[in-house]
Amino acid sequence: MSLYFHLRAVPPSALRNSANWLQRLFQDDWDTVRLRIDRHREEMLDHHYADHDALYAGAPPHRAEEGPRSHVVLGGRPVPHHDPGEPPFLLLTAAQTAQVAVFLISADVEALWSEARAALLPRYGGPATEQETHALFTTTHRDLTTFYTQTADYGDAVVKCLLR
């Protein structure tokens, strides 16, 4: 079973603090969601989402404090799922989303990679795969920067969900 971490932009006026509403947001087909929230912007990260989080927030015990750096992937206010066996949904306000966008725009992806390289590279095949692994993280950084920048430009919030 594949895991995906799904990020979706939602106008603050459409956002509901309800696990049922949030679940429907991620279960409905994209056209239905687009009609409901009047926009259609999202990003998906594969099962390596925790590695992307480590790129930005750092690995324990050196994890970044709460804020834009730690909110890129796994940050946000948790809303418990109605099924206790499922992880919570995560919500970023429009203001937090804008802070993340500013962080990503100004982030030096090469410096982030240099800091996280030793911890991440062994998970992807070691030094022999460094070029491909580095390219994967650079591409994901570009995609996340585009997602958060567009979302901030609309003044939207971000809802995050782990999907199986």
Q: What mean pLDDT comes out for the span 2-20?
A: 86
**Span 106-149, pLDDT tens digits:** 999 999 999 999 999 999 999 999 999 999 999 999 999 999 99
Q: Exposure pattern of 6-15 as b/e (b: 16+ CB <10 Å)?
A: bbbbbeeeeb
**Span 61-86, pLDDT tens digits:** 667 777 898 999 999 999 999 888 88
- Cβ–Cβ < 8 Å for 8, 158: yes
The domains of the chain, with CATH numbers, are 4-163 (3.40.1760.10)
3-class DSSP assignment, residue 163 = strand
**Percent of the chain surpassing pLDDT 70:** 88
Q: How far apart are CA 5 and CA 90, in angstroms?
A: 11
Read off the pTM: 0.89
Q: How far apart are CA 157 and CA 153, in angstroms?
A: 11
- Cβ–Cβ < 8 Å for 51, 120: yes
